Amino acid sequence: METRILKEADTIVKEAKGKQETIKAASLEITEELECSHSLLRSLKEQNKQTKLFIEIKNVRKSLPILTDKEKNVLRANTTNKYIQFTRNTSIIDFLKTDNNYGTLSTFVQPCPDSVVDLQYIDTIDMKQTSENEKCNITGIIMIAPTKMVVSESSNRNIKLIDVEKNVVVTEVKMCSRPLDVITLPEKKLAVTLADEMFLQILSYSDAKLSLDQRIDVGEKCAGVAYGQNKLVISSRASKKIIIMNLKGEILNVLGSLAIFYGPIRVLIGKDETFIYVSDTDWSQSSKVLKMDWKGNVKSVFEDQSHKFPYGQQQLEDKTILVCYSESNTILRLSSSLKKCDIIGLEKANIYFPKAVTYCDREQKLCVSCSSEKDDWRADIVKVFHVKWK
């Protein structure tokens, strides 16, 4: 069965390579023909054969459109942008009983930054609990499974586990201070930043339970947190720094000694774990998003003062970044080099003061925490969208 599936994959690869060779051969033919024409014209010019040169120039002009059409036709017939995806057969017992259930191969076109993202509204999750005194303010959000979501709720100082399908709060745990951001760690752990503390709170989670775990001392008040390359990346808005440390609490590096930040409020590590993206803003009008390497070198900056207060970020599978602009009531989609990309569906979504965003690429489901009221900055609901690529 393994041999059969590998042969099928090999056939797809050989087909793609065959198309590449066809394009290569056609390109060589076109190149050779052009070089021959160029050589002939140059020779006639050097020999001062003006009449013959004039005739050959006319012939070349006629042949150029033919060669152009040939190039276009070859590319159209042979270009491939398909990827191979193996779908595992998870029914182990049936697999052992039969000889045809090893799995299947399918091809798909991976989205690219040139694609348009169309957000299609699905549902709204209300975070209010009858036992709570304050209106909710969801400042951090993360998917732990296609149907399960964890949010940090700062107004009532708790972390909530949400069933997205049933639209209910499964469980919650009270925190000692206002939780700001939440991320997943290996071994079913969560890391939470707390507004008034100088440590990260670690939690353990399951499908129906949250529980307090260890603390990791940071030495600074933390705003945002991300995880990649087996390291924690923490933003401290108060000290205008990015702190990189391991899970043992050892500080590996501190970024921001050149005062490059206004006040880093959220951090994101790209899917390939090569770059760090920072939402950076002060208390006035200055806002920007930075792309940095792990040494603190700034690679790109997006700064547009018509978009204010960048907050939560999320990377999609095409490597574009969604950034919540809380004060501007919008979400921008930026390329990995921080250039604007197309996103539609927001104009009718009534997203007010967005704070956090998370995405499940398996279900192509996007969740955004925002306010239910136009004039209230507290993000008390989560809007759920289906992401469609165009």
Tens digit of pLDDT per residue, the chain (390 long)? 788 888 888 888 888 888 888 888 888 888 888 888 888 888 888 888 888 878 888 888 888 888 888 888 888 888 777 778 888 777 766 666 666 556 667 665 567 777 888 999 999 988 776 567 788 999 999 999 988 999 999 999 999 999 888 888 899 999 999 999 999 999 999 999 999 999 999 999 988 899 999 999 999 999 999 999 999 999 999 899 999 999 999 999 999 876 789 999 999 999 999 999 999 998 767 899 999 999 999 999 999 888 989 999 999 988 999 999 999 999 999 998 999 998 988 888 899 999 999 998 888 899 999 999 999 999 999 999 999 888
CA distance 216 to 319: 30
pTM for the full predicted model: 0.72
Beta strands in 44-157 (DSSP E): 82-88, 103-109, 117-126, 138-145, 148-153
- CA-to-CA separations, 343 to 185, 304, 388, in angstroms, rounded: 30, 17, 10
117-389, CATH topology level: Neuraminidase (2.120.10)
**CA 188 centroid distance within chain:** 22
The rounded distance, in Å, linking the Cα atoms of 80 and 17 is: 10
Q: Which residues pair with 332 in a beta bridge?
A: 323
Indicate the SS3 state at residue 55. helix
Distance in angstroms between the alpha carbons of the first and the last residue of the chain: 36
Q: How far apart are CA 222 and CA 241, in angstroms?
A: 10
